[in-house]
Chains A and B, each alone.
Chain A
Amino acid sequence: MSSNDADARPYGRRAFLGLLAAGLTSFAWAGPASRIFAPVTSQFSQLLGDLLPVGGWRIYTISGSMPLFDPATWRLEITGLVRKPRTLTYADLLALPRASQISTFHCVTGWTVKDVHWAGVRFGDLLALAEPLPAARAIRFVSMEEPYTDSLTLRQATLPDAMLAYELDGKPLTRAHGSPARVVIPEMYGYKGVKWLTRMELVASQPTGYWEGLGYDQNAWVGRSNGYG
Chain B
Amino acid sequence: MATARRRIRRFTRTERAVHWVHAAAFLVLLATGLALYLPSLSEFLGRRPLLKSIHVYTAVAWIVALVFVVAVGDRASLRATLREIDLFDRDDREWLKRRHPPQGRLNAGQKVNAILTAVFALLFAVSGVLLWYGERNTRFRFAQTILIHDWLTYVSFFLFVGHLYLSVIHPRTRHSLTGITRGWVYEDWAREHHAKWAALARSEGADGP
Chain A contacts to B: CB under 8 angstroms: 1-2, 4-5, 7-13, 15-16, 19-20, 23-24, 26-27, 30-31, 34, 50-54, 56-66, 108-111, 174-176, 214-215, 226-228
Contacts and interface: CB of A to CB of B under 8 A. Distances in A.
A228 to B, nearest CB: 7
Given A8-B87, A59-B39, A19 B119 contact: yes
A60 B147 CA distance: 16
Per CB-CB distance, the 10 closest pairs between chain A and chain B, nearest first, are: A227-B138, A12-B86, A4-B89, A8-B87, A65-B46, A59-B42, A23-B123, A8-B89, A176-B43, A30-B144
Contacts of A24: 123, 126
Contacts of B138: 215, 226-227
B64 interface: no
Interface stretch (B19-27, B110-118, B166-174, B176-184): B110-118
Nearest to A228: B143
Which of A11, A20, A215: most chain B Cβ within 10 A?
Answer: A11
B196 A2 contact: yes
Contacts of B116: 19
Given A26-B148, A50-B38, A227-B141, 9 more contacts: A1-B196, A2-B89, A7-B89, A7-B90, A8-B89, A16-B119, A26-B144, A65-B46, A110-B147
Interface string B105-144: 0000001100110110011001000010011111101111
Nearest to B120: A23
Interface stretch (B6-14, B47-55, B71-79, B185-193): B47-55
Nearest to B142: A27
B37 to A, nearest CB: 6
Interface of B: 36-40, 42-43, 46-50, 85-91, 93, 102, 104, 111-112, 115-116, 118-119, 122-123, 126, 131, 134-139, 141-148, 150-152, 196-197, 200, 209
Contacts of B131: 109
A11 B88 contact: yes
Contact of A65 (B40, B47, B135): B47
Which of B87, B142, B143: most chain A Cβ within 10 A?
Answer: B143
A8 B88 contact: yes
Contacts, number: 135
Contacts of B119: 16, 19-20, 23
Q: How would you classify the secondary structure of chain B's contact residues: helix, strand, loop or mixed?
A: helix
A216 to B, nearest CB: 8
13 contacts: A1-B197, A7-B90, A9-B93, A12-B115, A19-B116, A30-B151, A50-B39, A54-B150, A57-B39, A63-B48, A64-B47, A109-B131, A175-B43
Contact of A111 (B47, B146, B209): B146
Q: How would you classify the secondary structure of chain A's contact residues: helix, strand, loop or mixed?
A: loop
Contact of A110 (B49, B87, B112, B145): B145
A4 B147 CA distance: 42
Contacts of A111: 146-147
Contacts of A57: 39
Contacts of A1: 89, 104, 196-197, 200, 209
Contact of A51 (B38, B102, B142): B38
Given A2-B91, A16-B118, A50-B39, A64 B148 contact: no
Nearest to A32: B144
A220 to B, nearest CB: 12
Contacts of A62: 48-49
Which of A8, A176, A215: most chain B Cβ within 10 A?
Answer: A8
B86 A10 contact: yes
B40 A50 contact: yes
Nearest to B138: A227
A136 B146 CA distance: 38
B115 A16 contact: yes
A60 B196 CA distance: 53
Which of A12, A24, A228: most chain B Cβ within 10 A?
Answer: A12
Nearest to A226: B138
A61 B145 contact: no
Given A62-B49, A227-B138, A227-B141, A19 B115 contact: yes
